[in-house]
């Protein structure tokens, strides 16, 4: 089951050519990631700052298919593609106003204890949310479409 969020592309996020600066796609993906947890009733203030764990990004990658421009409205679809013992992987499909694929990205998030930054198991309530959203068929690797 996928989650989607829609955002207007802001002027501050584009380069002099009016195209989304490449690193900014992660801001939009992370915003959708935050909205995903919020849509599941997770207290985001606690999740991101108050819990006994942290959930840093251990890996990220993105493939840029078509330009994203200032004023475009983009949809960011979030798919859970893997749930491990202490980490999970998300795939983001970013589409433009006509539904065409603009960017495909992925992030790997690892649960670590706040004190020692050591891997810990994904807490059961969060694991249940991730499992509900887990894609049942494997997602293709980036760059293969």
Predicted confidence (pLDDT) at residue 114 exceeds the cutoff of 80: yes
Q: Categorise residue 71: left if φ over 0, alpha if ψ from -120 to 50, beta otherwise.
A: left
Q: What is the pTM of this model?
A: 0.90
The confidence score (pLDDT) of residue 118 equals 97
Q: What is the pLDDT of residue 1?
A: 81
Measured between alpha carbons, how far is 71 from 12 in angstroms, rounded to an integer?
A: 11
pLDDT for residue 145 is more than 50: no
Domains defined for the chain, CATH in brackets: 3-133 (3.10.129.10)
| Cβ pair 65, 41 in contact under 8 A | no
Q: What is the pLDDT of residues 85-98, one digit of tens each?
A: 999 999 999 999 99
Per-residue confidence band for 140, with pLDDT thresholds at 50, 70 and 90: low
Residue 144: what pLDDT? 47
pLDDT digits (tens, 9 = 90+) for 29-74: 999 999 999 999 999 999 889 889 999 999 999 999 999 999 999 9
| Distance from C-alpha of 26 to C-alpha of 106, rounded to nearest angstrom | 9
- Residue 139 scores a pLDDT above 60: no
- pLDDT at residue 53, rounded to an integer: 95
Mean pLDDT for the stretch of residues 112-134: 97
**Which conformational region is residue 21 in: left (phi greater than 0), alpha (psi within -120 to 50 degrees), or beta?**
beta
Q: What whole-number distance in Å separates Cα of residue 58 and Cα of residue 67? A: 26
């Amino acid at each position: 089951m996928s989650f989607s969020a829609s955002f207007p592309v802001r002027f501050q996020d584009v380069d002099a050519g009016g195209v989304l600066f490449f690193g900014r796609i992660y801001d939009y993906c992370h915003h959708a990631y935050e909205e995903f947890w919020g849509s599941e009733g997770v207290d985001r203030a606690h999740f991101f700052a108050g819990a006994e764990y942290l959930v840093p990004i251990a890996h990220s990658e993105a493939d840029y298919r078509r330009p994203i421009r200032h004023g475009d409205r983009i949809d960011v679809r979030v798919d859970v593609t893997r749930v491990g013992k202490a980490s999970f992987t998300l795939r983001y499909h970013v589409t433009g106003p006509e539904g065409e694929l603009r960017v495909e990205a992925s992030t790997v998030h690892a649960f670590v204890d706040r004190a020692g930054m050591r891997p810990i198991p994904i807490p059961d309530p969060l694991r249940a949310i991730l499992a509900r959203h887990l894609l049942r068929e494997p997602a293709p690797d980036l760059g293969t479409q």
